[in-house]
């Protein structure tokens, strides 16, 4: 295998499947089975998942709500998704641990880096919920931060498109796909890979990012085995 320890970043919207809101159980189980295949190949997996299918703090602030309050509500949305994914993974025989950046002792461990690493070494899937625990930071930033803390080899950003394009491929039929691109090129071209805080964290810590289509069966497994899937962002 090419990667020993990975951090998988999933968007909350991805869990909606074909629904307009909430969680599509079929999509959830599809993801769980993909993760199981990778875990059983010996790769250590940590996961960060967004909450946009339930609540977005940024949208709430645009409607007049205080941004800090909205962001904390968004963190709770990520915990709902994290618990759903945990249940799906455990239903197919995987051992998991859910760690929260906000104390919720009845449902999750607090985030403790050493415990997280120990869980990974023992083959457990570790899900990091509640973002960074701070307002004004996205779950992309949480993914970058946690990946660096646990010394992951790469961030795997699962999306509904098959990589990074020169423009939005859903809007521009002339958009061209990159197989590999540097951090500086992404920045210079103004491409939307992650928010700037998250992206800068990865760049400064030499942590590569791979953007790929999570909805295509087998992509996640093929990627960790070293096949060219999606777009690699590296120095």
Segment 51-56 shows an average pLDDT of 92
pTM: 0.95
Q: What is the pLDDT of residues 104-123, one digit of tens each?
A: 999 999 999 999 999 999 99
Domains of the chain plus CATH, in order, are: 5-234 (3.40.1160.10)
End-to-end distance of the chain based on CA atoms, in angstroms? 21
Q: What is the pLDDT of residues 147-173, one digit of tens each?
A: 999 999 999 999 988 999 998 888 888
How many whole angstroms separate alpha carbon 41 and alpha carbon 54? Answer: 32
Pairing of strands 180-182, 177-178: unpaired
pLDDT reported for residue 173: 87
**Cα 9 to chain center, whole Å?**
1
pLDDT reported for residue 235: 87
Q: How confident is the model at residue 52 (pLDDT cuts 50, 70, 90)?
A: very high
């Amino acid at each position: 295998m090419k990667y020993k320890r990975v951090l998988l970043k999933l968007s909350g919207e991805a869990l909606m499947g074909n629904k307009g809101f909430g969680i599509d159980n079929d999509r959830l189980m599809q993801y769980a089975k993909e993760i199981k295949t990778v875990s059983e190949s010996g790769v250590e997996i940590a996961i960060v998942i967004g909450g946009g299918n339930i609540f977005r703090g940024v949208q709430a602030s645009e409607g007049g709500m205080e941004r800090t309050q909205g962001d904390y509500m968004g963190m709770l949305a990520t915990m709902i998704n994290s618990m759903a994914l945990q249940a799906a993974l455990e239903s197919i025989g995987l051992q998991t641990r859910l760690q929260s950046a906000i104390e919720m002792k009845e449902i999750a461990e607090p985030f403790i880096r050493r415990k997280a690493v120990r869980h990974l070494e023992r083959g457990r899937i570790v899900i990091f919920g509640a973002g960074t625990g701070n307002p004004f930071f996205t779950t992309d930033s949480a993914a970058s931060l946690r990946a660096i803390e646990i010394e992951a080899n790469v961030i795997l950003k699962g999306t509904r498109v098959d990589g990074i394009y020169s423009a939005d491929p859903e809007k521009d039929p002339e958009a061209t796909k990159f197989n590999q691109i540097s951090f500086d090129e992404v920045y210079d071209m103004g491409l939307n890979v992650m928010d700037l805080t998250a992206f800068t964290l990865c760049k400064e810590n030499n942590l590569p990012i791979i953007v790929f289509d999570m909805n295509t069966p087998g992509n996640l497994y093929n990627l960790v085995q070293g096949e060219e899937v999606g777009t690699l962002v590296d120095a």
